[in-house]
Structure 1
Amino acid sequence: MFRKLSAELFGTFWLVFGGCGSALLAAGIPEVGIGLVGVSFAFGLSLLTMAYAVGGISGGHFNPAVSLGLAIANRFAWTELLPYWIAQLIGGVAGAAVLYLVASGTTGFSAGGFASNGYDALSPGGYSMVAALVAEIVLTAAFLIIVLGATSNAVATGFAPLAIGLAYALIHLVSIPVTNTSVNPARSTAAALFAQNGALGQLWLFWLAPLLGAALGALIWRFILAPDDTSAI
């Protein structure tokens, strides 16, 4: 169990450091900034690389919503859910802390939004709370279906991290303008703790919506798409 939790901690660390780091350090550089597309692929690549690196140890969740969805789909032990959540949160906060240390090493640094998630005034595109809630639920549900499908017995082994990482990039391409993309409560919590824009006050949505979406996606997979699936992740 120690190795599993260590893998989840380090994987979530890398997801936050790599994904949020790309948004904070590289997205807005004049003339050479990577922009929305670059940040989206940075999140996808962060997930893909760690899924290959340590997915064989812990299953490569790196996300409390994914762990919940897998438990609902009978792919993950309920008794391990809370320890996984704790490891993911610690890893995410550690990633954000190291990112803060790096980012603050330049003149005139201000944490600002610190790649945090939000709605209304904190939404990059000014989207409402309802829009944010719907987007996060739908996208997390779709993500869980992709995770469960890509890791099922019906799919060739070895390609799941690629499909999951690309799906994660696609999700960011869609929803960065809406919420700055959560789909992951650990990532949202980590960024909100260091943000200076009031993101903590909206953090409830970025726990509620991904967890609801994960449950919905898992139920759709379990009872509609693959009722006889017995795969293990």
Structure 2
Amino acid sequence: MEGKEEDVHLGANKFTERQPLGTAAQDRDYKEPPPAPLFEASELSSWSFYRAGIAEFVATFLFLYVTILTVMGVKRSPNMCASVGIQGIAWAFGGMIFALVYCTAGISGGHINPAVTFGLLLARKLSLTRALFYIVMQCLGAICGAGVVKGFQKTPYEVLGGGANSVAHGYTKGDALGAEIVGTFVLVYTVFSATDAKRSARDSHVPILAPLPIGFAVFLVHLATIPITGTSINPARSLGAAIIYNRDQGWNDHWIFWVGPFIGAALAAIYHQVVIRAIPFKSNC
């Protein structure tokens, strides 16, 4: 028995710990990437730059196409119980974001949302040149996506509201603005956390799972705010629907669906960079 205990003791200590875990591993192995330049002229001559923009266009096009059709299907039903209801709409938005981020993350980063792009720009994760290009392509994709839905079903599209965002009865513009700010904060904060390069250096599975929490965040925010604004948290989504629907209902409070998401994205970027990613002070002692 004594021999066996000695063998067990030897086996438990034979291989010393070579790789420190947790924060120690991050501090030793992780190197913070330099911030993206504000303007990078070389991007304009790179095919990968335009390929990323095309990916953002197609992803936002598909996002609007599927989600607006889902919203119209719910509104067409005689009551919520005869359709997928609010939960189904929320799943359509969250599920599409999950799928599209998964498909485009390796090409463009899978933003599919000007607010996400704006937040990442503030954190210096991409250049101003690329950010502006992404936002333009996202808006064009959203317009085309809503336009195709109207082209297929013109009369139902106009009768059912075209998926345009508006402030619901019983809520003020301040309520709607607050809902959009907080909702976008949740989304962009999740994006930062799910795609954090420092976290990825420690947990190799994080990049694979990143689309899941992002899509789930979109789902949860829609559950909370559909009754208030129909949920935007994505200026391109609201712009595409408003332009194609082109009625007062879609334009009266349209500013909310730009100002709210951009404020929410800015707050999430500041919180993540200043609080979550802050490097602790090291003592010289």
Q: Which deviations, in whole Å up to 9, do the C-alpha atoms of 1:35-77 show, x marking residues without a partner? A: 1000000001111111111221000001111000011122222
Q: Which has the larger radius of gyration?
A: 2
Q: Is the 8 A contact 1:118 1:202 kept in 2?
A: yes
Supply the AA of the counterpart residue of 1:216: L
Q: Is the 8 A contact 1:28 1:35 kept in 2?
A: no
1:168 lines up with 2:213 in the alignment: no
Q: Is the 8 A contact 1:50 1:60 kept in 2?
A: yes
In structure 2, what is the equivalent of residue 212 of structure 1?
A: 263
1:110 and 1:188 mapped to 2: Cα distance?
A: 16
Select which of 36, 45, 51 maps to 1:3: 51
| TM value normalised by structure 2 | 0.74
Q: Which deviations, in whole Å up to 9, do the C-alpha atoms of 1:143-180 show, x marking residues without a partner? A: 11100001113152200101100110111000000000
Q: Which deviations, in whole Å up to 9, do the C-alpha atoms of 1:75-128 show, x marking residues without a partner? A: 22222111111100000000000111122276xx63442111112xxx1x5311
Q: Is the 8 A contact 1:22 1:42 kept in 2?
A: yes
1:132 lines up with 2:183 in the alignment: no
RMSD: 1.7
| TM value normalised by structure 1 | 0.90
Q: Is the 8 A contact 1:7 1:57 kept in 2?
A: yes
Select which of 148, 151, 160 maps to 1:98: 148
1:160 and 1:166 mapped to 2: Cα distance?
A: 10
Q: Is the 8 A contact 2:101 2:110 kept in 1?
A: yes
Change (3 A) 1:38 1:100: same
Supply the AA of the counterpart residue of 2:172: S
Q: Is the 8 A contact 2:184 2:264 kept in 1?
A: yes
2:136 and 2:100 mapped to 1: Cα distance?
A: 18
1:50 lines up with 2:94 in the alignment: no
1:68 lines up with 2:68 in the alignment: no
1:197 and 1:111 mapped to 2: Cα distance?
A: 14
Question: In percent, how many aligned pairs have the same letter?
Answer: 35
In structure 1, what is the equivalent of residue 233 of structure 2?
A: 183
In structure 1, what is the equivalent of residue 37 of structure 2?
A: none
Q: Is the 8 A contact 2:70 2:89 kept in 1?
A: yes
SS in 1 for 2:106: helix
In structure 1, what is the equivalent of residue 162 of structure 2?
A: 114
Supply the AA of the counterpart residue of 1:170: L
1:223 lines up with 2:274 in the alignment: yes
SS in 2 for 1:56: coil
1:78 and 1:70 mapped to 2: Cα distance?
A: 10
1:46 and 1:126 mapped to 2: Cα distance?
A: 30
1:86 lines up with 2:136 in the alignment: yes
Q: Is the 8 A contact 1:150 1:164 kept in 2?
A: yes
Q: Does 1 or 2 have the higher relative contact order (CA < 8 Å, sep 6+)?
A: 1
SS in 2 for 1:174: helix
Q: Is the 8 A contact 2:177 2:260 kept in 1?
A: yes
In structure 2, what is the equivalent of residue 24 of structure 1?
A: 72
Counting matched residue pairs gives 222
Deviation at 1:23, TM superposition (A): 0.4
Q: Which deviations, in whole Å up to 9, do the C-alpha atoms of 1:5-52 show, x marking residues without a partner? A: 000001111111111221013454245411100000000111111111
In structure 1, what is the equivalent of residue 44 of structure 2?
A: none
Q: Is the 8 A contact 1:26 1:33 kept in 2?
A: yes
Which blocks of at least 5 consecutive residues in structure 2 are unaligned? Answer: 1-48, 201-205, 280-285
Supply the AA of the counterpart residue of 2:178: V
Q: Which moved more, 1:141-150 or 1:192-201?
A: 192-201
